[in-house]
Each structure stands twice: as structure tokens, then as C-alpha cells.
Amino acid sequence: MTREKLFEQILQKKSYLCIGLDTDPKRLPEHLLDHEDPVFEFNRQIVEATADLCVAYKPNIAFYEAQGPKGWVSLEKTLEIIPEEIFTIADAKRGDIGNTSELYARAFFETMNFNSITVAPYMGADSVKPFLVQPGRWVILLALTSNPGSKDFQMLKLSDGNEEYLFEQVLRESANWASVGQMMYVVGATQGEYIERVRAIVPNHFLLVPGVGAQGGSLEEISRLGMNQQCGLLVNSSRAIIYASSGRDFAEKAREAALEVQKEMEQYLEQYVMHL
């Protein structure tokens, strides 16, 4: 998908919500357990209830892999029922030596038809470039993650006299690997105080922002400090939406939770993005 198409969808839906399909078989509503593929049935109903409110879905691959072959089947079936205009993210956090990354790219972009994949930058340019060979397929590179451990490496100060954090060097260097039409960055919503430093280096890139909802990040802060002229944000929420209820009304409650976020996003789009 092109950046223009993504922005078009954001304007049309007045939303930059990404819903995380982190579907844990242990958290499925009981009445779904009789279905042949309960995980798929759960996803199907979530997608049906929320597709007009979000612009992206992000299945976290761990939730599917953990179930072995049947998990991959649930994932493929889920991908097939996501409407074509919606951006899809394989949250797989991959990256390896070149020829291995090529196979990861084939797995998620050819065997499966994802628009994008999350990739770890630690192994450097040659581990990321194999994901960038097809136009319209995106790399979403981990820059400043939402978890407490982000301090362990990403926040280390480099000893080159510039007083930069390691995550800033990751942004600066990797911005040369692809255009703004093929690269996005993960920046946690819990990292609001650093968002201006991120935008100083990558003003035009889209950022995938997880960490609102269950992890407590502020949608208002990330929107105010992180938006650019093309919105430039995809804000993910997983548990707070898909597990809004554990009963028969789970899809309806997921819709209500998504609608609440979308309404707030509509306000920020009007306030901060001039195009509306």
C-alpha cells in the first residue's frame, strides 16, 4: 500500500487507529470454543465490528506461532478477511543475516500477503534491506519501544561527543535505507517525552505507536507532539479493544472501545492536521 492511500484512508475514516489482533486462545469467550477455529472466529467478529473505525490491523505473530500449525492457519484466514484497503502489519520483529531475512520477507510478503512487518534494527542495514525490495511493502523498524527495557540499550548515550541516544542514531542511519514510502518506526506511546527528539530526525515518517490502553500511554500527548502534515501516526491498541468484554457481547464492546478512541482521534486530526 502507498503512503498516499494510507493517508486517504485516515482522512476518510477520521482515524489513525491500528487494532492489535493479539488473540490469546486462553482469553477467548467461552461460547466461541465450540467453533472449528475459535481464534479465527474471534478475529472475524472483531474485524467485522471494527473495520470502519480503524485503518490498520496488527496481528502479533507470537500469539499464532505459539499454537503451532493451526495458529498459522488461523492467521492466514484472518488476513484473508481483512478488507483490502486496510493496512496490515505482521508484528513479527524479525531481522537476520541477508539470505535469512530474504526468507522472512518471503514468508510475510509472498506466502502471506502482509503490507508490512516489524523488524529489529540490531543486526544493521544488510539484515533490514531484504524486506525493502517490493514497492508498497513496508518495514516498521523498532526505534524507541514502549517497554521498561527500552532503557537498557535504546537509551544509551553514544560516546561520540554528540550526546545522542542510540535510538537517535538508529533513526538517523536507517532513514537512508528507504524512502518515507517504505519505512516506518515504532515509538512507544509511553515515550512521550522523547517524541520531539524523534520528530527532529524523522519529521515525515509514519510512526507506529503502541502502548496506549493497557500500557497507559497518552493518545493526546503522542498526537499533539507526534503528528505531521500527513498525520504520520498509526496508534495501536490491542488488549483494551479486543478484550473489552469476555462475554457474548465481546465484538460489540470492542466496537464501543474502538469508537471511543476513533472519536478522540477525530478531534486531534481536526486540531493538528491542516488538510481536514
By beta-carbon proximity to ligand OMP, the closer residue of 95 and 211 is: 211
Q: Is 78 in the site for ligand OMP (CB under 6 A)?
A: no
Determine, following the binding rule CB under 6 A, whether residue 88 of this chain makes contact with ligand OMP.
no
Binding residues among 143-172 for ligand OMP as defined by CB under 6 A: 145-147
Q: Which is nearer to ligand OMP, 8 or 256 (CB)?
A: 256
Residue 238 makes contact with ligand OMP by CB under 6 A = yes
Among 175, 181, 239, 266, binds ligand OMP (CB under 6 A): 239
Q: Which position has the grid cell 487507529?
A: 17
Is 93 catalytic? The answer is yes
- Beta-bridge mates of residue 233: 207
Question: Comparing C-alpha atoms, which of 132, 133, 167, 129 is closest to residue 149?
Answer: 167
Among the candidate windows 23-31, 42-50, 207-215, 263-271, which touches ligand OMP by CB under 6 A?
A: 207-215
At CA 80, angle to CA 85 and CA 256, rounded to 5? Answer: 65
Distance CA 18, CA 153 (A): 27
Q: Are 156 and 168 in contact (CB under 8 A)?
A: no
Catalytic hit among 93, 151, 157, 263: 93
Say if CB 30 and CB 249 are below 8 A apart: no
Smallest separation (angstroms) from ligand OMP to the CB of 32:
19
Q: Cα–Cα–Cα angle for 139, 89, 197, nearest 5°? A: 55
Of 88 and 238, which has the nearer Cβ to ligand OMP?
A: 238
Q: Which residue is nearest to ligand OMP (CB)?
A: 145
The single residue among 188, 192, 226, 232 that binds ligand OMP, judged by CB under 6 A, is 188
**Considering the rule CB under 6 A, would residue 101 count as an interface residue with ligand OMP?**
no
H-assigned helices in the chain: 3-13, 38-50, 61-65, 69-81, 98-106, 125-128, 166-174, 195-201, 219-226, 239-242, 250-272
Cβ partners under 8 Å of residue 135, min gap 6: 181, 182
Site string for ligand OMP, 39-58 (x = CB under 6 A): --------------------
Q: Which is nearer to ligand OMP, 95 or 163 (CB)?
A: 95
**What is the contact surface with ligand OMP in residues (CB under 6 A)?**
20, 22, 60, 91, 118, 145-147, 186, 188, 210-211, 213-215, 236-240
